[in-house]
Amino acid sequence: MRAAAAMGLVIAATVAAPWVIGEGVQRFLAEVFLMLAMAEMWNLLAGYAGLVSMGQQVFVGLGAYSLFFASMSLNVAPYWVLPLALLVCAGVAAVIALFLFRLREAYFAIGMWVFSEIVSLVVSKSEWLGGERGMGLRTARLVAARWLEPVTFWLSVAIAGGAVVGTYLLMKSRVGLGLMTVRDNDLAATSIGVDVWRNRFIAFVVSAAGTGLAGAVSFNATLYVAPGFAFDPNWVVAMMFIVLMGGIGTLEGPIVGTVIYFALREVVTVVFGLPGTWYLVGLGLVAMATMLYAPAGLWPMARDRFRVEWLSVRRRPSVRSGVAAVTWGRELRR
């Protein structure tokens, strides 16, 4: 009941927000929420499914390009073809998983990166997609100008919320349980019959779809897409740093990481007025320090220190399930 009330409040606040906050703030918040969504999707892969990918930018780009291409060839407002961006990314992920899942750990990570480079190079050579120059979103005129920012804002909140809640539900499901057992001990997991490949496949496809959706909305907001931006490895750099700093393998970690990521950016570039390169240097150093001294990330440290739990997917045996297990055991013995 309280959860439902809180949810309603959040939705009401989100819907009302564009009438209260300015367009600049909306744009900034949209960027924050989309980044959070991508980070949660990367976390689903790396933190739960044990698949570190350095090529997730391929889905950002594919999502953006599917949206632009579909919207302009069908001549409809870009928002209507968003589901298509999701489907394209899920489809591509399902196909390449068949091949790339043969690679393990670092090889998978860099194999994904090479895949992303291949797609990026092919797109740069495709004149029907604007080639290296990219293309503008002409169909944006089908949307009233004053609705552009608010709709992007709403979509980004919805996608970020969907990413967090979706990952939470997935991790509470059988698939999630399977993933976590594999992550913790793959030998034990396979010996009790967990289908490693299938669980990883589901996580990979879901993650690709979510990343693609966030990428599509992100480039829909800038009204312009080019291979250099869409398939920029800095997308995955950002996802990675957010997840690592916040706490890999926790749902709250990426939220904490996103806050730090943007706070650091604003402090370095706005308060100190330094160029973006120094911000990236700072990020790299923070990531290295995290890996060396707090490999679990900041959220797990804070959680253990202050004993708080929030979106934990940890399972506790309840009294009822304990009783059920005992009676079930008795039944078996009879």
Q: Amino acid letter at 92?
A: V
Q: Does 228 bind another protein (CB under 8 A)?
A: no
- Residue with Cβ nearer another protein (24 or 275): 275
Which member of 15, 22, 74, 125 binds another protein (CB under 8 A)?
125
Contact region with another protein (CB under 8 A), list: 56-64, 66-74, 113-121, 163-171? 113-121
Q: Does 291 bind another protein (CB under 8 A)?
A: yes
Of the candidates 129, 136, 280, the one whose C-alpha atom is nearest the C-alpha of residue 120 is 129
- Residue with Cβ nearer another protein (31 or 117): 117
Please give the Cα distance from 267 to 17 (Å, whole number).
25
Contact region with another protein (CB under 8 A), list: 117-125, 205-213, 256-264, 311-319? 117-125
Which member of 284, 304, 308, 324 binds another protein (CB under 8 A)?
284
Please give the Cα distance from 264 to 279 (Å, whole number).
8
Each residue 88-107 as x (binds another protein by CB under 8 A) or -, in order, gives -----------x--xx-xxx
Please give the Cα distance from 299 to 312 (Å, whole number).
12
- Could you tell me the smallest distance in angstroms from the CB atom of residue 104 to another protein? 9
Question: Which residues have CB under 8 Å from 203's CB, separation 6+?
Answer: 44, 45, 48, 49, 51, 170, 175, 179
Q: Which residue has the tokens 């240097």?
A: 281
Query: Which residues, numbered 152-181, are part of the site for another protein (CB under 8 A)?
Result: none
- Could you tell me the smallest distance in angstroms from the CB atom of residue 50 to another protein? 8
Q: Does 115 bind another protein (CB under 8 A)?
A: yes
Query: Which residues, numbered 57-76, are part of the site for another protein (CB under 8 A)?
Result: none
* Helix H or strand E encompassing 44: none
- Could you tell me the smallest distance in angstroms from the CB atom of residue 199 to another protein? 18
Which member of 63, 111, 176, 210 binds another protein (CB under 8 A)?
111
Q: Does 267 bind another protein (CB under 8 A)?
A: no
H helix intervals, the chain: 2-20, 23-43, 57-74, 82-100, 105-125, 145-172, 174-184, 186-191, 196-222, 227-230, 234-246, 252-265, 276-293, 298-306, 319-333
DSSP state letter for 224: E
183: number of Cβ within 10 Å = 17
Determine the longest span between alpha carbons in the chain, in angstroms: 76
Q: Does 294 bind another protein (CB under 8 A)?
A: no
Q: Does 7 bind another protein (CB under 8 A)?
A: no
Of the candidates 88, 46, 50, the one whose C-alpha atom is nearest the C-alpha of residue 67 is 88
Which member of 20, 146, 273, 277 binds another protein (CB under 8 A)?
277
Q: How much is the CA Rg of the chain, to the nearest whole Å?
A: 21
- Residue with Cβ nearer another protein (272 or 306): 272
Q: Residue numbers of the site for another protein (CB under 8 A)?
A: 46, 52, 54, 99, 102-103, 105-107, 109-111, 113-115, 117-118, 121-122, 125, 233, 237, 240-241, 244, 275, 277-278, 280-281, 283-288, 291-292, 295
